[in-house]
């Protein structure tokens, strides 16, 4: 007897090959059989008539590693069809830990939890061991975060690493790869990652490449300097041999509409000359990042706690604002790019009255200068404030989405807890609906056939990241499966109410167990850690 039998579905197997009608049987967490008709009994039978049966979707850009040790169940990822998250992105993560890394945790959970996390995140091996013992909602794979590596060795210090520091960072990179990480990532607009130069990153890339890893980068600029920033990432790949992934590819700035043509041409030309370059993207016109990261990095030397303290000095505060608006060619702050009227506060633990409000509106209501609102809010929250920035163009977003080298990533995290579905603020809709929104756009704009769409969300990212036994519906592979009502897929979340339920996600199955039924998380946590190139025992 099978554990699960899905009958009468239209199989889109994740390979990009044409869809076909078949039944699919699951036993002991694996796909046991795919055949035109399977008549043997099963404990659970799903009638998928009129539905697509696909591999579980793969989030190519997740930040859930930062909170995984707090025990979330991944419901928001599962409810959009995600069964595997690829984490450790943007050069920021929990490991290796360095001072004040867990300030947000301290605010919500207290100092004892911080001490626990610092112990578990002391090394890449201890982190991987701790996560492997947990019950996970989704499968999780991990990149090493270069910002943490630099922070652990050099702190928040600007300037080049000396030879001894470089060797220490290379040793940490090797440690991560030995522990099963996928490669490494950078966040070259975030301190301390931003302080690294190209030569330093090439040295880390050589180590990661020697283990078969990848390099994924939140590049140094996504507006005026986006092409130069892409060229730096591609140059790191060219000098080291490592495959490159451009994180959440976008062009910020209404004035730069159409620049995506040159960006995509650069990717194509690089691949044509033998440099492997991929990208991923979330299908929204607003980004999200910590508000403190939008202050030019020269003011963050020594750490974010030092930056917050500097904000108390009126003269330094004025210097920060001048740098944001007058030195945009040096550092592309979203404060400049979105303007005060385009910055929506999504979370601020100690000042919840500001959540779901725009900075310009707060300033007007309180009779303050907008930059003073930002600084006062950061001081009140010890630097931990998340904001959403509106500065992109739909035409570029759709053009990037359609490109064959572009995968999909939520750029979000597992939600801690289960907020009311209509709760205002607290997150970005990409954390609830990226996958559904992408498929909606593909369907409604007729951007590609469904086989290609599913391949770029399943088989392709698994292949790029070297994830074994996931990403395709094949006999013997892990039973990570979605049953989708493709014509009726609908994302209901938005920027004000980011937790509203999706439509069209009939079932999500993780390693053979039903985690979502009728668009709703069932409470089942059956995910596992996936290591680079390893297979499930």
Q: What is the pLDDT of residue 51?
A: 98
The number of C-alpha atoms within 13 Å of 33 and in the hemisphere containing its C-beta is: 16
**For 263, phi and psi rounded to 5 degrees?**
-65, -45
Helix (H, G, I), strand (E, B) or coil at 110: coil
**DSSP code per residue over 330-384:** TS--HHHHH-GGGEEEEE-TT-GGGTT-BHHHHHHHHT--HHHHHHHHHHHTTT-
Inter-axis angle of helices 198-210 and 146-154, nearest 10: 120
**Cβ atoms within 10 Å, residue 348:** 21
Residue linked to tokens 């091996």? 125
Q: Tell me, what's the pLDDT at 329?
A: 86
Total of domains in the chain: 2
Q: Which of 523, 534, 447, 528 is nearest to 131 (CA)?
A: 528
What integer pLDDT is reported at residue 42 of this predicted model?
Answer: 98
Answer whether residue 496 is part of any domain. Answer: yes
End-to-end Cα distance, the chain: 22
Nearest to 438 by CA among 407, 392, 478: 407
| Cβ-contact 411, 245 below 8 angstroms | no
- Assigned domain for 401 exists: no
Distance of alpha carbon 70 from alpha carbon 113, whole angstroms: 9
246, part of any domain: no
What CA–CA distances, in Å, run from 117 to 153, 167, 170, 290?
A: 19, 26, 24, 21
Q: Is residue 333 part of a domain?
A: yes
Residue 20 lies in a domain: yes
Structural domain span for residue 9? 2-55+471-521
Q: What is the pLDDT of residue 363?
A: 98
Separation of alpha carbons 308 and 318, rounded Å: 14
Q: Is residue 16 part of a domain?
A: yes
How far, in Å, are 15, 124, 276, 360 from residue 212 at the CA level?
Answer: 22, 17, 13, 47
User: How many Cβ atoms are within 10 Å of 41's Cβ, its own excluded?
Assistant: 9
The residue from 337, 365, 390 where one domain ends is: 390
CB contact set of 438 (below 8 Å; sequence gap of 6+): 283, 401, 408, 453, 457
Q: What's the CATH code of the domain at 477?
A: 2.30.40.10
Q: 199 lies in a domain? A: no
- Tell me whether residue 104 is in a domain: no
Q: The pTM is what?
A: 0.95
C-alpha distances out from residue 300 to 86, 116, 156, 320, Å? 28, 26, 7, 11
Cis peptide before 96 (omega within 30 of 0): yes
Which of residues 390, 410, 428 is at a domain's end? 390
Out of 344, 374, 390, a domain closes at 390
What's the pLDDT at 328?
87
Residue 402 sits at φ, ψ, to 5 deg, of -80, -10
pLDDT in tens, the chain (537 residues): 999 999 999 999 999 999 999 999 999 999 999 999 999 999 999 999 999 999 999 999 999 999 999 999 999 999 999 999 999 999 999 999 999 999 999 999 999 999 999 999 999 999 999 999 999 999 999 999 999 999 999 999 999 999 999 999 999 999 999 999 999 999 999 999 999 999 999 999 999 999 999 999 999 999 999 999 999 999 999 999 999 999 999 999 989 999 999 999 999 999 999 999 999 999 999 999 999 999 999 999 999 999 999 999 999 999 999 999 999 889 999 999 999 999 999 999 999 999 999 999 999 999 999 999 999 999 999 999 999 999 999 999 999 999 999 999 999 999 999 999 999 999 999 999 999 999 999 999 999 999 999 999 999 999 999 999 999 999 999 999 999 999 999 999 999 999 999 999 999 999 999 999 999 999 999 999 999 984 333
């Amino acid at each position: 007897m099978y554990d699960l039998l899905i009958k009468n579905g239209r199989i889109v197997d994740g390979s990009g090959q044409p869809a076909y009608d078949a039944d699919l049987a699951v036993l002991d967490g694996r796909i046991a059989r795919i055949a035109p008709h399977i008549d043997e009994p099963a404990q659970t039978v799903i009638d998928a008539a009129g539905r697509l049966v696909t591999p579980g979707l793969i989030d190519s850009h997740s930040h859930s590693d930062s909170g995984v040790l707090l025990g979330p169940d991944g419901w928001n990822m599962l409810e959009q069809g995600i069964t595997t998250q690829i984490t450790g992105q943007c050069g920021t993560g929990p490991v290796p830990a360095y001072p004040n890394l867990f300030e947000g945790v301290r605010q919500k959970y207290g100092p004892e939890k911080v001490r626990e996390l610092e112990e578990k995140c002391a090394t890449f091996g201890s982190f991987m061991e701790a996560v492997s013992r947990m019950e996970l909602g989704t499968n999780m794979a991990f990149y090493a975060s270069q910002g943490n590596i630099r922070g652990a060795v050099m702190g928040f210090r600007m300037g080049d690493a000396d030879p001894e520091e470089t060797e220490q960072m290379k040793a940490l990179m090797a440690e991560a790869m030995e522990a099963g990480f996928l490669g490494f990532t950078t966040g070259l607009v975030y301190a301390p990652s931003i302080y690294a130069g190209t030569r330093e990153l090439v040295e880390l890339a050589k180590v990661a490449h020697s283990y078969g890893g990848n390099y994924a980068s939140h590049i140094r600029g996504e507006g005026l300097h986006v092409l130069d920033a892409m060229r730096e990432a591609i140059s790191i790949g060219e000098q080291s041999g490592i495959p490159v992934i451009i994180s959440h590819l976008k062009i910020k700035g209404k004035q730069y509409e159409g620049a995506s043509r040159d960006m995509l041409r650069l990717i194509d030309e690089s691949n044509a000359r033998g440099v492997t370059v991929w990208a991923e993207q979330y299908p929204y016109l607003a980004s999200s990042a910590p508000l403190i990261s939008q202050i030019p990095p020269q003011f963050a030397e020594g750490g974010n706690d030092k930056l917050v303290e500097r904000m108390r000095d009126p003269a330094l505060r004025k210097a920060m604002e001048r740098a944001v608006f007058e030195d945009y060619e040096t550092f592309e702050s979203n404060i400049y790019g979105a303007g005060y009227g385009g910055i929506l506060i999504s979370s601020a633990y100690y000042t919840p009255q500001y959540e779901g409000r725009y900075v310009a509106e707060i300033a007007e209501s309180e009779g303050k200068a907008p930059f003073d609102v930002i600084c006062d809010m950061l001081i009140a929250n010890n630097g931990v404030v998340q904001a959403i920035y509106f500065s992109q163009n739909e035409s570029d977003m759709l053009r990037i989405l359609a490109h064959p080298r572009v995968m999909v990533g939520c750029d979000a995290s597992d939600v801690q807890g289960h907020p009311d579905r209509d709760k205002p603020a607290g997150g970005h809709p990409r954390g609830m609906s990226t996958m559904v929104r992408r498929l909606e756009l593909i369907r409604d704009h007729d951007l590609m056939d469904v086989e290609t769409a599913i391949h770029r969300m399943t088989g392709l990212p698994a292949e790029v990241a070297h994830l074994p036994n996931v990403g395709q519906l094949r006999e013997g592979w892990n039973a990570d499966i979605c049953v989708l009502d493709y014509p009726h897929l609908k994302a209901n979340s938005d920027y004000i109410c980011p937790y509203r339920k999706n439509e069209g996600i009939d079932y999500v199955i993780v390693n053979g167990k039903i985690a979502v039924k009728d668009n709703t998380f069932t409470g089942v946590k059956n995910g596992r850690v996936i290591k680079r190139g390893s297979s499930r025992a």
